[in-house]
Structures are given as C-alpha cells and as structure tokens.
Chain A
C-alpha cells in the first residue's frame, strides 16, 4: 500500500500568515488522485481538495493544492482563525486508500 508522510508534524503560525503543508508518497500516486481534509477537535473531517488541486464545494479560495507523482502541497494563503486544525492528505489512486499521519496547524 502507498504510505503518505506529511510534514511538518506541527506548524506554528499566526493569523494572516501563509501556511505550506507537504505530503510525500512512497510511490507515485496515479492520476494525481490526492485529497486533503481538515479536522477540528471533536469534529468529522471536511474535504478541502480532491484531484490534487480541485477545491471542494464551499471551500474558500485561500486553500489551494498542487502536486503530482509523489510530492503534493496544500497552501493556505492567509490564515484565518478558523483554519487552525489538523490536516490530512489521502491518496485514492490505488487500493487501499491511505491517509497521511496529519499536520497540526497551531496558533503561534
């Protein structure tokens, strides 16, 4: 199965700053089938990005995704207070679908 490694484990930033989260796959992710989710404490995950770069319905355009092959990035252009959460990447190009271990984005 494809192993996804997210970095950094924790990212400490201030509102208004730019956040860059990385997701690296142990082998190439077919057709850029890579998604990103946001999870806040006590809540279910929320889909942000699918197909590596397509924003899900209702997701603000400050969230963007890029990447292909084994390297993918989620960028939040200007952090809002509600963006501080845990972010997971997930590949669905091969079975079984797998998730990264998460990046915690915390307020500095």
Chain B
C-alpha cells in the first residue's frame, strides 16, 4: 500500500532553516508529481509546492517563493522541502501528498503522509 512518511520538523527561530523529507513506498514514485501542503494550528489547508515526476517543473505558492525549495530524489523515492528564512506564519503541520495522476499532474491529492510539525518561534 502507498506510504508517505515525513520527517525533519521541529522548533526553529525566525530566520532559520529546516529541511523536511518524505520517504515513500508502495507506488512508482518516479512517475508521480508530488506536493507539500501545510496546515497552521487549528486552521485550514494550504497548498505549498509541487514538483513534476521528473523534477523538471516546479511551482510554489506566492508566500514561499524565494524561501522554500522543493526537490526529489527518484533513486531514493524521497521528496524534500528546504525551508529558509522561516517566519512565524510558516508554523504548521507540513504534509507531503501524492498527486492523483501519473505522468501529467492533476493537483488533487490521493495519498497523504501523517505530517511533520514545524514551529517557528524565538
């Protein structure tokens, strides 16, 4: 079965950096686009970033452009999110999510990890 397992969250000071990882199994990782979606405490869901199956196309939500970098290693079936210049408003549970369509992308999310909490606080 499809499994997505995030790691790398924690407490970081404003302006700091963190790198999230998402280890995957149970599907052909190299044929699916992948996403990061976040949820601030007690709030709704917000899409953060997308990477095409081969890494050739990447999109970000405006609030993280220039600060976050999504990447993937298809040889390790792993997705990453490098987060720099972190702000208090980046505090959230970060989920990795598998796109619903192989090859091209659909931008709906058919499998999710359990999430990793990032807290930005001094």
Which of B9-17, B23-31, B41-49, B82-90 sits within the interface? B41-49
Interface range on chain A: under 10, 10 to 19, 20 to 34, or 35 or more? 20 to 34
Which of A46, A47, A100 makes the CB contact (< 8 A) with B108?
Answer: A47
What is A's interface to B at a CB cutoff of 8 Å? 33, 35, 37, 43-47, 50, 56-57, 88, 90, 92, 95-102
A44 touching B100, Cβ below 8 Å: no
Chain B residues within an 8 Å CB radius of A102: 44
Mostly, the A contact residues are loop
A90 and B112: CB pair below 8 A?
A: no
Known contacts A50-B100, A95-B59, A96-B61, A45 near B109 by CB under 8 Å: yes
Is B95 an interface residue when CB atoms closer than 8 A count as contact? Answer: yes
Measured between alpha carbons, how far is A37 from B39 in the docked complex, in Å? 14
Q: Which chain A residues lie closer than 8 Å to B59 at the CB level? A: 95-96
